Structure 1
Amino acid sequence: MSTHETELMLKGYGLTTAELYYRMPDYRNVLNSFVWQEYDVAPDYPRLFKFIEFWQEKIEGPLHSVRFTHRKMIRPGEWRNVVGEFPIH
C-alpha cells in the first residue's frame, strides 16, 4: 500500500468497487461486464459518478446497470498509535 493510498484512507476515502453491465455495440442482446475500483468518498461518490458520465459520453456500449459496494479500509476505532513492541521470542 502506498503512502498516497494511506493518506486518502485517513481523509475518509474508502475503496469503491463497481461492476458495470453494458450492451455490446454490435450485438445489443449481449451483456458484458466491466469491473472498476477506485478510492472514493461515501455517500456522494464523486469519482464513481464522474466515471459513469465518462462512460456515457465516450464509450459506445450503452450501460444496462451498475452495482457497487464501498468499504472504508481504516475506521476511527481501528486506527491507533503504537509506541512499542513486545517481542515473544
Structure 2
Amino acid sequence: MSTSLYAKSLFQYALNAAKILIPRKWKSPLVPTISEWWTEMEEVRKFEEMHAVTQTAIRKHWATWLPWTLYLEGARPGCLVGCSLPDHDGATP
C-alpha cells in the first residue's frame, strides 16, 4: 500500500486504535478485546467526523468511514468477523 493511500485509509485508523489500546494493558496478562477496539474506533470516528464538519470535508470523511459504519450495522457485540446474523424471525441462516 502506498503512503498516500495508507494516509487516507480506514486501515490507518484501525491500527492507531490498536496502538492506543495495547499500552493500556501492557503490564497485564489480558489483551485488549474486540469490544474495546470497537469502542476506540468509534471514539476516533466521532472525533474525525467533528473535525470533518468543521473543515467542510464531510464527503471525504464518509468515503473513509462508510465501510466501518456498515460493518458495525451488521455485527453483533462479542461476535468476530463472519458470524451469521439472525433473521427477523430469530432463526439463523
User: TM-score, normalization: structure 1?
Assistant: 0.28
User: TM-score, normalization: structure 2?
Assistant: 0.27
By relative contact order (CA 8 Å, sep 6+), the higher-ranking structure is 1
Which one has the bigger helix percentage?
2
Which one has the bigger strand percentage?
1
